[in-house]
């Protein structure tokens, strides 16, 4: 009998495949995100309903110009880039490297804040020269959707700051780091949702 | 045989070690800090019952006003507030919270767990619900209750047509409640997924637990559209947004889509756990396991899924395209199949078993009659032409009271009679129970059956009076008399409860010979529910010798008694294999503080004080910070230090 390759069958490799239960907190966050994503889906559905069922051809309505893309591209790049250092931080603390975790979380916070700053500039421009939420239904939808998302980024930045402080105080160790993993889950989801918002409110509005 | 005495002895052996870790403060302090799922569950039930009484009395005033033509008991303005608040309260603040109370109390007991997965979230959910209900019901005292109907159609409910704070109370109250309900639903799902007793694989999960889990998944998907709709409406009303305003590019039909995308699933969010109660009671009094358990589980799940595809049947009269009407009509007809499966499963169980009709079962039989009648008229609405004839008439009012009163209130009362001994340690009276059943059953049908007739005669809903020439007075008088009979019947139950609490006979642990694990606990259960975590060998642990024996046998097994602090057992998601103990949080005021951080800004916004709202909202991040501040690493280090200080080998 020829020997079978051992790598796949040794006990350690097999044990890796046994589904190990996640912590209740992890499941809790997954479900919270499911319902949250459903809320964004409802918001975007409302947007497309108004655009395609109610408004007809002229979109954005009235004499509002198509949304400019430069700032939005920057925001997208910032938010997508911000996920990588968080993954780095998560891996770091799993191996007990506190410095890596602090650095990773710190960079993510900076990128998140940068996103919010650009969003603030974008809002100022829109509100002063283009349209406000009170202009028409398009304005209402634009600010409700991006505002709701911005709120999520703010919450995420606050949560990451808590991790930063707790990490500095030595309260996050290689045995107790669920908070990093769970907050990461939240942050990545908020980033992914932004891609859909960017695609719907900015890119698709050019069509 | 494992005798009760053996189990008692085993329990006592571990109780001393468990009690200190699980004890909570009593008195006022304990009132604000408890995280015990049983106390919270009881609170949910009592508070929801309070809202039922309030909404019921509102209905009595309406029925009095409608007893004859052109009566003048209440003004038209007040009548609008009464029916809006009655509907909103019954749907949002009575049915779901009452069933959440049952779920909170029973789910951990039925799955052999010591508490919910997130006890503090549980306490938080209760406080937020109580605050939202207070806002909603309290508004009536100031003549500022919502007044635009329980589904708040626009444009009627926009600021220019309904000025005043009434509908702001509605939007914000429901948003607040939505947070509580969503948190509760997540808690139920995670609890059922991670905390089941060893051996309780998915095919051994009691049907009530299945029903609550499906309900919770439905909440997770159905509440977001409602919350978005209410947010939009609030922004429209208060801050001049234009989501629903056609003159500025908005669309009123958008409200209807968002609302009913939640609204139809909500019928099952209410009814499914109530059907779960029925599935718990029927086997006990048929003295046999439920017929076709896997089919009923599948039917429950299918109902949950399909009900997301039928919302447009509430909008058949809005002028949508013909094709979409046909599609939603067909989909609505299909929902009847899974409901039918459940009904036949109960009937077959009853037929094959040996029926013993005690009070809880009597209420279940009443439920079957009323609920099936409501289902029949429901099928009629799925047919578009019929719906277009009867929509907004009293036929609709008759239909949904048969479904909701029949499908939720009857099972809830059955559940109260069934589990009262477990909840309180006292038994309700069998005789009063039978009396109240027959009075309620008669009163219910006399009240609501004639509404079918009046609806077909053309009487519209939501009218504060009608002209004598229309010939509706006779039937209306009959209905009002029925409503008073109903009131007498329901009061009998209340009297029975008060009487039993004061001097009812003590409840045995398992008064009806039930099959599920809640009956293995004392009545009422200890703080930790199960001194020895049971090991489950079948779907009917109380009817199966091996499962029963495990609770006596494992008393010396540390992995089943978990006496090292306040702990519960994490088992695997699908097949219930023990993994490791998880530490549960002790009592805390944090849930109350964070709930205040939500409730105070809401009240302030209603009163038009955005600054106060912003400041009081700061409680929220502050409370959440303390709540989530990581402590485990520090605690572990301290535990290790004290171990090192102890003599070697004392505590390996
Ligand atoms: C306690 C006995 C009850 C009585 C006497 C009663 C009576 C009524 C009456 C007369 C109306 C019609 C008002 C109108 O259209 O002018 C009504 C509406 C309604 N009821 Fe009840 N009801 C009772 C229990 C319930 C229960 C248990 C539920 C739900 C769980 C419920 C849900 C509703 C809803 C949703 C409406 C519609 C409100 C609206 O039009 O906005 N009711 N009720
Ligand atoms: Cu429906």
Q: What is the pLDDT of residues B308-337, one digit of tens each?
A: 999 998 998 888 888 888 988 888 888 889
pLDDT higher at B604 or B652: B604
From the CB of B462, is ligand 1 less than 6 Å away?
A: yes
ipTM of the complex: 0.94
Q: Is B97 in the pocket of ligand 1 (CB under 6 A)?
A: no
Portion of chain B with pLDDT greater than 70, in percent: 98
pLDDT digits (tens, 9 = 90+) for A57-99: 889 998 899 999 999 999 999 999 999 999 999 999 999 999 9
Determine whether the shortest distance from the Cβ of B491 to ligand 1 is under 6 A. no
Contact (Cβ atoms closer than 8 angstroms) between residue B249 and residue B242: yes
In the prediction, which pLDDT does A8 show?
57
What the block records as the tokens of B379 is 């099928």
Residue B324 pLDDT: 86
The pLDDT score that the predictor gives to residue B125 is 98
Q: Count CB neighbours of A23 within 10 A.
A: 16
**Residue-level pLDDT at B650:** 40
B487 lines ligand 1 (CB under 6 A): no
The answer to whether the beta carbons of residues B599 and B136 sit under 8 Å apart is: no
Helix (H) or strand (E) holding B237: helix B207-239
- Higher confidence at residue A8 or residue B479? B479
For residue B630, which residues of chain A lie inside 8 Å, CB to CB? 166, 171-172, 176, 179
- Inform me whether the pLDDT recorded for B648 exceeds 50: no
Q: How much is the average pLDDT of B239-248?
A: 96
pLDDT the model gives residue A75: 98
- Model confidence at A1, pLDDT cuts 50, 70, 90, reads very low
CA-nearest residue to B239 within chain A is A134
Among B280, B279, B325, B281, which Cα is nearest to B303's? Answer: B279
pLDDT of residue B644: 77
Whether residues A24 and B570 touch (CB distance < 8 A) is answered with yes
The answer to whether the CB of B440 is under 6 A from ligand 1 is: no
State the nearest Cα–Cα gap between A131 and chain B, in angstroms: 12
Residue of B59, B74, B460, B478 with the most ligand 1 atoms within 8 Å of its CB, for mutation: B59
Tell me, what DSSP letter sits at residue A66? P
Q: Using the 8-state DSSP alphabet, how is residue B604 labeled?
A: H
User: CB contact, 8 Å: B137 with chain A?
Assistant: no
A140·B241 Cβ contact <8 A = yes
Q: What is the pTM of this model?
A: 0.95
Nearest atom in ligand 1 to B463's CA? 16
Which atom of ligand 1 lies closest to the CA of B490? 1
With a 6 A CB cut-off, is B569 part of the ligand 1 pocket?
no
pLDDT band at B649 (very low <50, low <70, confident <90, very high): very low
First to last CA, chain A: 64
Distance CA A197, CA A203 (A): 9
Per residue in A102-131, pLDDT tens?
Answer: 999 999 999 999 999 999 999 999 999 999
Measured between alpha carbons, how far is A158 from A168 in angstroms, rounded to an integer? 15
**Distance to chain A for B433, nearest Cα, Å:** 41
- Residue closest by Cα to atom 2 of ligand 1: B56
Q: How confident is the model at residue A204 (pLDDT cuts 50, 70, 90)?
A: very high
Among B61-70, B378-387, B457-466, which is the least confidently predicted range? B378-387
Dist CA A62 CA A39 (whole Å)? 28
Segment B155-170 mean pLDDT: 94
- The reply to whether ligand 1 has any atom less than 6 angstroms from the CB of B62 is yes
Q: Which of B153, B394, B397 for mutating ligand 1's site (highest number of atoms within 8 Å of CB)?
A: B397
| Closest-CA residue to B264 (of B218, B220, B231) | B218
Q: Quick one: which of B219, B50, B214 has its CA closest to B125?
A: B219
Q: Which residues of B touch A179 (CB under 8 A)?
A: 628, 630
Sign of CA pseudo-dihedral B536, B541, B545, B550: positive
Q: Which ligand is nearest to the CA of B263?
A: 2
What Cα–Cα distance (Å) separates residue B456 from each residue in A31, B398, B421, B452? 45, 11, 45, 6
Q: Which domains does chain A have, with CATH numbers?
A: 25-206 (1.20.120.80)
Question: A9: which 2 tokens?
Answer: 């069958």
Determine if the peptide bond prior to B531 is cis (ω within 30°): no
Q: According to the model, what pLDDT value does residue A123 have? A: 98
Distance A39 CA to ligand 1 centre (A): 30
Contacts of B113 (CB under 8 A, 6+ apart): B107, B191, B195, B196, B197, B529, B568, B569
Q: Which residues of chain A are within 8 Å of residue B251 when distances are taken between CB atoms?
A: 49-50, 53-54, 137
pLDDT of B3 over the 80 cut = no
Is the Cβ–Cβ distance between B429 and B500 less than 8 Å? Answer: yes
- Asked if A28 lies within 8 A of B117 by C-beta distance, the reply is yes
Q: Would the CB of B85 count as within 6 Å of ligand 1?
A: no
Of the listed ranges A202-206, B169-173, B641-645, the least confidently predicted one is: B641-645
For residue B193, list chain A residues with Cβ-Cβ distance below 8 A.
Answer: 27
Give residue B224's pLDDT: 98
Average pLDDT, chain B: 94
**Helix, strand or coil, per DSSP, at residue B474:** helix
Is it the case that residue A55 has pLDDT exceeding 70? yes
- Residue pair B571/B600 in contact by the 8 Å Cβ criterion: no
Does B358 reach chain A within 8 Å, measured CB to CB?
no
Ligand nearest to the CA of B266: 2
pLDDT confidence tier of residue A16, bands split at 50, 70 and 90: low
A18-24 contact pairs (CB < 8 A, 24+): A19/B572, A19/B573, A19/B574, A20/B579, A21/B194, A21/B570, A21/B571, A21/B572, A21/B573, A21/B579, A23/A178, A23/B582, A24/B117, A24/B118, A24/B190, A24/B194, A24/B195, A24/B570, A24/B582
Residues of B in contact with A47 (CB under 8 A): none
Looking at chain B, which residue has its C-alpha nearest residue A143?
B241
Whether A21 has a pLDDT exceeding 80, the answer reads no
Tokens in use for A183? 């907050």
Is the CB of B84 inside a 6 Å radius of any atom of ligand 1? yes
Element (H, E) at B405: none
Which residues of B are less than 8 Å from A53 in CB distance? 251, 253
Residue A5 has pLDDT above 60, yes or no: no
Identify which ligand lies nearest to the alpha carbon of B48: 1
Which of B313, B219, B289 is closest to B514 using CA atoms?
B289
Q: Which atom of ligand 1 is nearest to the CA of B444?
A: 2
Residue where the block lists tokens 């908005």: B250
Location of structure tokens 């990093």 = A180
Q: Do A93 and A99 touch, CB atoms closer than 8 A?
A: no
Q: Tens digit of pLDDT for each residue in B52-98?
A: 999 999 999 999 999 999 999 999 999 999 999 999 999 999 999 99
Measured in angstroms, how far is the CA atom of residue B386 from the centroid of ligand 1? 22
Q: Do residues B4 and B550 touch, judged by C-beta distance below 8 A?
A: no
Per-residue pLDDT band for A30 (boundaries 50, 70, 90) equals very high
**Whether pLDDT at B283 is above 80:** yes
Interface subset of B 556-595, CB within 8 angstroms of A: 570-574, 579, 582
All residues of chain B having their beta carbon less than 8 Å from the beta carbon of residue A158 are 621
Distance CA B10, CA B3 (A): 11
Closest-CA residue in chain A for B620? A155
- B454 touches ligand 1 (CB under 6 Å): no
pLDDT at B7: 77
Tell me if B224 and A42 make a contact (CB, 8 A cut-off).
yes
Q: Which residues surround ligand 2, an ion (CB under 5 A)?
A: B 264
CA torsion sign for B96, B97, B99, B103 is positive
Does residue B341 carry a pLDDT above 80? Answer: yes
Place of tokens 């085993």: B10
Number of inter-chain CB pairs under 8 A, A vs B = 142
Q: Is B514 exposed, middle or buried (0-12, 13-18, 19+ CB in 10 A)?
A: buried
**Rg (chain B; Cα; Å):** 26
Give the ligand with the smallest distance to the CA of B88.
1
**CB of B150 closer than 6 angstroms to any ligand 1 atom:** yes
The SS3 assignment for B583 reads strand
Token pair 């889509």: residue: B257
Q: Which of B117, B179, B249 to mutate to test the interface with A (most CBs of A within 10 A)?
A: B249
Could you give the C-alpha distances from B282 to A10, A124, B359, B509, in angstroms and in order? 50, 63, 12, 19
Angle, helices B430-456/B473-503, rounded to nearest 10 degrees: 160
Q: Which of A13-22, A57-66, B472-481, B585-594 has the lowest mean pLDDT?
A: A13-22
Name which of B241, B256, B321, B577 to mutate to probe chain A: the one with the most chain A Cβ atoms within 10 A of its Cβ: B241
Q: Which residues in A lie closer than 8 A to residue B628 (C-beta atoms)?
A: 159, 162, 179
pLDDT in tens, B534-573: 999 999 999 999 999 999 899 889 999 999 899 999 999 8
Evaluate if residue B430 carries a pLDDT over 80. yes
Percent of chain A with pLDDT over 90: 81
What number is the average pLDDT over the span B477-496? 98
Helical residues (DSSP H) of B89-198, grouped into ranges: 96-110, 119-138, 166-194
Give the Å distance between the CA of B325 and the centre of ligand 2.
13
Residues in Cβ contact with A140 at an 8 Å cutoff, skipping those fewer than 6 apart: A133, A134, B232, B235, B236, B241, B242, B243, B250
Please report residues of A whose CB lies closer than 8 A to that of B221. Answer: 34-35, 38
For residue B378, the distance in angstroms to the closest alpha carbon of chain A comes to: 27
């Amino acid at each position: 009998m020829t020997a079978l390759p051992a790598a796949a069958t040794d006990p350690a490799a097999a044990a890796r495949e046994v589904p190990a239960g996640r912590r209740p907190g992890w499941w809790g966050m997954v479900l919270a995100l499911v319902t949250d994503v459903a809320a964004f889906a409802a918001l975007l559905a409302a947007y497309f309903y108004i655009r395609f069922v109610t408004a007809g051809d002229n979109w954005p309505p009235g004499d509002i110009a198509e949304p400019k893309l430069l700032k939005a591209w920057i925001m997208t790049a910032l938010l997508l880039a911000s996920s990588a250092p968080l993954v780095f931080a998560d891996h770091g603390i799993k191996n007990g490297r506190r410095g890596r975790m602090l650095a990773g979380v710190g960079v993510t916070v900076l990128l998140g804040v940068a996103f919010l700053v650009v969003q603030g500039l974008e809002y100022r421009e829109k509100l002063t020269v283009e349209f406000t939420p009170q202009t028409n239904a398009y304005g209402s939808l634009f600010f409700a959707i991006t505002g709701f998302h911005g709120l999520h980024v703010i919450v995420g930045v606050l949560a990451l700051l808590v991790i930063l402080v707790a990490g500095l105080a030595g309260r996050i160790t290689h045995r107790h780091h669920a908070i990093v993993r769970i907050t990461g889950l939240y942050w990545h989801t908020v980033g992914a949702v932004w891609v859909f918002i960017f695609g719907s409110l900015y890119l698709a509005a050019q069509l | 045989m494992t005798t009760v005495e053996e189990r008692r002895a085993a329990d006592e052996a571990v109780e001393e070690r468990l009690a200190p870790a699980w004890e909570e403060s009593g008195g006022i302090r304990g009132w604000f800090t408890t995280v015990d799922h049983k106390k919270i569950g009881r609170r949910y039930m009592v508070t929801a019952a309070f809202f039922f009484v309030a909404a019921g009395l509102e209905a009595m005033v309406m029925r009095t006003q409608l007893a004859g033509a052109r009566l003048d008991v209440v003004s038209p303005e007040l009548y609008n507030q009464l029916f809006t608040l009655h509907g909103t309260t019954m749907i949002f603040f009575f049915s779901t919270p009452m069933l959440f109370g049952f779920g909170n109390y029973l789910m951990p007991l039925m799955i052999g767990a010591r508490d919910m997965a997130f006890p503090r979230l549980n306490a938080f959910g209760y406080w937020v619900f109580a605050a939202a209900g207070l806002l909603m019901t309290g508004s009536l005292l100031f003549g500022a209750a919502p007044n635009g109907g329980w589904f708040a159609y626009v444009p009627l409910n926009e600021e220019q047509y309904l000025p005043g704070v009434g509908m702001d109370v509605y939007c914000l109250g429901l948003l607040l409640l939505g947070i509580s309900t969503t948190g509760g639903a997540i808690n139920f799902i995670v609890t059922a997924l991670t905390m089941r007793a060893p051996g309780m694989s998915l095919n051994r999960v009691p049907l009530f637990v299945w029903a609550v889990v499906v309900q919770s998944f439905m909440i997770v998907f159905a509440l977001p559209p409602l919350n978005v709709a209410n947010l939009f409406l609030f922004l429209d009303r208060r801050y001049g947004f234009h989501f629903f305003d056609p003159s500025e590019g908005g669309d009123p039909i958008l409200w209807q889509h968002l609302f009913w995308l939640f609204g139809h699933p909500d019928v099952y969010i209410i009814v499914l756990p109530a059907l779960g109660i029925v599935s718990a009671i029927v086997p006990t009094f048929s003295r046999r396991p439920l017929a076709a358990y896997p089919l009923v589980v599948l039917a429950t799940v299918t109902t949950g899924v399909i009900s997301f595809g039928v919302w447009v049947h509430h909008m058949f009269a809005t002028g949508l395209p013909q094709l979409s009407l046909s599609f939603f009509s067909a989909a609505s007809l299909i929902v009847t199949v899974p409901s039918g499966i459940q009904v036949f499963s109960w009937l077959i169980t009853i037929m094959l078993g040996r029926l013993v009709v005690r009070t809880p079962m009597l209420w279940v039989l009443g439920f079957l009659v009323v609920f099936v009648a409501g289902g029949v008229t429901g099928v009629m609405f799925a047919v578009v032409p019929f719906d277009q004839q009867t929509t907004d008439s009293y036929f609709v009012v008759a239909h949904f009271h048969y479904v909701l009163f029949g499908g939720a209130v009857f099972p809830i009362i059955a559940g109260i009679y069934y589990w009262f001994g477990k909840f309180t340690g006292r038994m309700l009276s069998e005789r009063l129970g039978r009396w109240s059943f027959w009075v309620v059953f008669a009163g219910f049908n006399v009240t609501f059956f004639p509404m079918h007739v009046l609806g077909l005669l053309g009487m519209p809903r939501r009218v504060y009076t009608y002209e004598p020439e229309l010939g509706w007075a006779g039937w209306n008088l009959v209905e009002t008399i029925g409503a008073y009979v109903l009131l007498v019947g329901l009061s009998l139950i209340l009297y029975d409860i008060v009487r039993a609490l004061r001097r009812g006979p003590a409840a045995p642990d398992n008064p009806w010979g039930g099959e599920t694990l809640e009956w293995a606990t004392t009545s009422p259960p200890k703080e930790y529910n199960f001194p020895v975590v049971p090991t489950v060998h079948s779907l009917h642990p109380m009817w199966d010798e091996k499962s029963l024996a495990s609770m006596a046998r494992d008393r010396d097994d540390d992995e089943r008694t978990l006496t090292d602090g306040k702990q519960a057992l994490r088992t695997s998601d699908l097949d219930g294999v023990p993994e490791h103990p998880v530490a549960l949080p002790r009592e805390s005021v944090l849930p109350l503080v964070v709930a205040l951080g939500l409730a105070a800004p809401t009240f302030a916004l209603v009163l038009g004080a955005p600054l106060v709202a912003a400041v009081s909202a700061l409680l929220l991040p502050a409370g959440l910070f303390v709540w989530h501040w990581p402590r485990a690493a520090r605690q572990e280090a301290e535990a290790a230090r004290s171990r090192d200080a102890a003599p070697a080998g004392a505590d390996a």
